[in-house]
C-alpha cells in the first residue's frame, strides 16, 4: 500500500522511508495538509499528517470523499483535528501519545537559560567583535522557584532538571505526580504559582479549558522579573496580553517555541515576505524575547519514536486493532473524547 505523508521535514524524510521499508511505500511531501492541498490525497486510504495540518470538518470531508479512511498524525497534540467529524465519516484517527519527554524538557531549559543569561544577544554582539558585558547580567537559578504548569512526562523531566539546579519547586496539574512530589514539589493553585514562581514553564495540552491559561490576569500576577517559557502549544498564552505586559517593561525574559497563530508561518521560509501578523511582528522586537519555530521535539530520538509509533498505528489500523494512540477507531470515539 502507498501512503501519502504531508508536512515531512527534510531530516524526517529518510527516517520515515526507512521505518516503512518492506511494509508500505511512502510518498513524502513537504507541503502541509489544508483545504488547498487535501485533493492531493485522493486515492490514498492512509494519510499521515504533521501537527500543523488543518483537519477541520471540511478538509476531512474532502479526504473521505477521495477514499481516505485512516489518518496517522505524527504528533501528540490533536487540537487541529475535528474528532466528531472524523467519527461521523467513519474514519480512524491515530496519533503519537508519547515520545521522548527529554527532547522537549531539555529544549525548554535551553530557552530558559538563553533568555536568563542573554546568550543570543551576547552571541550577536561577539560576531561583530563587541565584547562588552553591558546589559548581559543574568541571575543564579539556584534557590529560586520554578513553577511547572503540567507535570506529566515532560513536566516531570523539566522538574528533575530544575531539582538538579537546586530550585524550589511549585506545580499545578489536575492530578499530582508522586515522582515530582518526591523531588520536593509543592502543588498549589495556579494563581499562587503565577505569583510566586521566578521561572514558569508550560507543559499542558491545548484544550478549551486551557486556552489562554496565561491571560492578562495571570500575567499581571507574575513577578515583574519572572521568566516565562512555552514549549507546549501557542494557544496557552494570550499573546496580545503578553505583548502588553512586555511593553510595560515587565518580565525578565520570554522563551516561546510555539505561537497561537503559527499555522502557515512556522516551518516555512518567510524571510522575503511581508509579515501581516502584527502581534508576532511586535513580539519579535523585544530584546528579552526568544522565539523558535516549534522545534523542541526535533531530536533524533524523539522523531525516531514518532515515526516508529506512526508505523505501529498504521499496522494496527490494517489489522483492525485499537490502542491508546487511537483517537477515533472506524468512526468510534473513545468515551473520554465524547
- Catalytic position from the list 233, 321, 330, 338: 233
* Residue 276: DSSP 8-state: -
- Catalytic position from the list 21, 294, 301, 321: 294
294 annotated active-site = yes
Report the relative pairing of strands 25-28 and 253-256 from DSSP bridges. Answer: unpaired
Pair 187, 178: CB distance under 8 Å = no
The Cα 239–Cα 255 span in angstroms is 12
DSSP per-residue codes, 44-82: -SEEEE-TT--B-HHHHHHHHHTT--EEEESSS--TTB-
Backbone angles phi, psi at 243, to 5 degrees: -60, -45
- Catalytic position from the list 262, 282, 308, 324: 262
The Cα 265–Cα 300 span in angstroms is 24
Report the relative pairing of strands 326-328 and 92-94 from DSSP bridges. Answer: antiparallel
Find residue 170's DSSP bridge partners. Answer: 147, 186
Pair 40, 67: CB distance under 8 Å = no
Catalytic (active-site) positions? 233, 262, 294
Amino acid at each position: 500500500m502507498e501512503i501519502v505523508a504531508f508536512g515531512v521535514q527534510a531530516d524526517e524524510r529518510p527516517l520515515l522511508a526507512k521505518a516503512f521499508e518492506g511494509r508500505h511505500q511512502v510518498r513524502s511531501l513537504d507541503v502541509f495538509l489544508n483545504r488547498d492541498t487535501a485533493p492531493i490525497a485522493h486515492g490514498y486510504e492512509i494519510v499521515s499528517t504533521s501537527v500543523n495540518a488543518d483537519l477541520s470538518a471540511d478538509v476531512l470531508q474532502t479526504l473521505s470523499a477521495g477514499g481516505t479512511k485512516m489518518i496517522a498524525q505524527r504528533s501528540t497534540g490533536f487540537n487541529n483535528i475535528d474528532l466528531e467529524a472524523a467519527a461521523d465519516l467513519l474514519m480512524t484517527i491515530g496519533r503519537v501519545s508519547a515520545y521522548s519527554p527529554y527532547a522537549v524538557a531539555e529544549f525548554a531549559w535551553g530557552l530558559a537559560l538563553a533568555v536568563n543569561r542573554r546568550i543570543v544577544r551576547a552571541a550577536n554582539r561577539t560576531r561583530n567583535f563587541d565584547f562588552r558585558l553591558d546589559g548581559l547580567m543574568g541571575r543564579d537559578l539556584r534557590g529560586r522557584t520554578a513553577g511547572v504548569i503540567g507535570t506529566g512526562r515532560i513536566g516531570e523531566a523539566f522538574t528533575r532538571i530544575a531539582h538538579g539546579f537546586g530550585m524550589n519547586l511549585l506545580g499545578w496539574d489536575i492530578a499530582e505526580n508522586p515522582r515530582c512530589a518526591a523531588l520536593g514539589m509543592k502543588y498549589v493553585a495556579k494563581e499562587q504559582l503565577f505569583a510566586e514562581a521566578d521561572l514558569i514553564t508550560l507543559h499542558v495540552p491545548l484544550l478549551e479549558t486551557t486556552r489562554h491559561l496565561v491571560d492578562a490576569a495571570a500575567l499581571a500576577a507574575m513577578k515583574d522579573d519572572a521568566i516565562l517559557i512555552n514549549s507546549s502549544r501557542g494557544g496557552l498564552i494570550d499573546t496580545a496580553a503578553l505583548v502588553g505586559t512586555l511593553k510595560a517593561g515587565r518580565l525578565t525574559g520570554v522563551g516561546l517555541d510555539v505561537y497561537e497563530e503559527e499555522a502557515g508561518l512556522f516551518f516555512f521560509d518567510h524571510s522575503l515576505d511581508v509579515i501581516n501578523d502584527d502581534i508576532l511582528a511586535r513580539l519579535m522586537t523585544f530584546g528579552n524575547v526568544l522565539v523558535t519555530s516549534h522545534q523542541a521535539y526535533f531530536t533524533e530520538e524523539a522523531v525516531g519514536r514518532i515515526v516508529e509509533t506512526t508505523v505501529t498505528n498504521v499496522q494496527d489500523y490494517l489489522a483492525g486493532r485499537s490502542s491508546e494512540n487511537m483517537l477515533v477507531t472506524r468512526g468510534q470515539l473513545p468515551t473520554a473524547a465524547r
